[in-house]
Amino acid sequence: MSTDPRYIEKWVGYLQGSEHEMSIVAAKKLGATKDPAVIPHLLKALVNRPDDLRTAVIRALAEIGDRSATSSLVNLLHDSNPLIASASADALGWIKDAKAVPSLVQILVDYKTGSSRHFQLHGFNRGLFMAVVHALKSINTREAQIALEKYNR
């Protein structure tokens, strides 16, 4: 994919535009560039936008694989939409940033105990649990391995 500034500028314009379907296409095109320079534009598109666009943006961030997106994705682990939370966990697994491990582990703990606000509001979400398990397996730090041994039963 092209990282020509004109190409990126064109798709950033569509991402920020009001035409919904083109914004989704733009997220995919920007992710395919694998250019970390587009991350700030993608992160901006996570705020106050429809969930299907946010999901496309999360996938684009995963495709780029840059750790600068980690903190934003960690924040989305507790999104009110469990599909957004699951997509964020998947993306964190692709990015493989060890800084995400404590937050991912907390999701496992919350799932097993039913103690988090997210789970109290939305019920137990097996999809999120499995996405977190896969992310921790991908990241594969010692802390992740210990958590998987303890909570993935």
pLDDT tens, residue by residue, 87-125:
999 999 999 999 999 999 999 888 877 766 555 545 557
Least confident of 65-69, 72-76, 121-125: 121-125
Domain ranges of the chain: 1-64, 68-153
**CATH of 1-64 among 2.130.10.30, 1.10.730.10, 3.40.50.970, 1.25.10.10:** 1.25.10.10
CATH, range 68-153 = 1.25.10
pLDDT in tens, 20-29: 999 999 999 9
Cα within 13 Å of Cα(39), Cβ side? 17
- Full-model pTM: 0.90
- Give which of 26, 28, 32 is closest to 13, Cα–Cα: 26
Domains 1-64 and 68-153 share a fold: yes
pLDDT confidence of 60, banded at 50, 70, 90?
Answer: very high
- Give which of 55, 18, 14 is closest to 38, Cα–Cα: 14
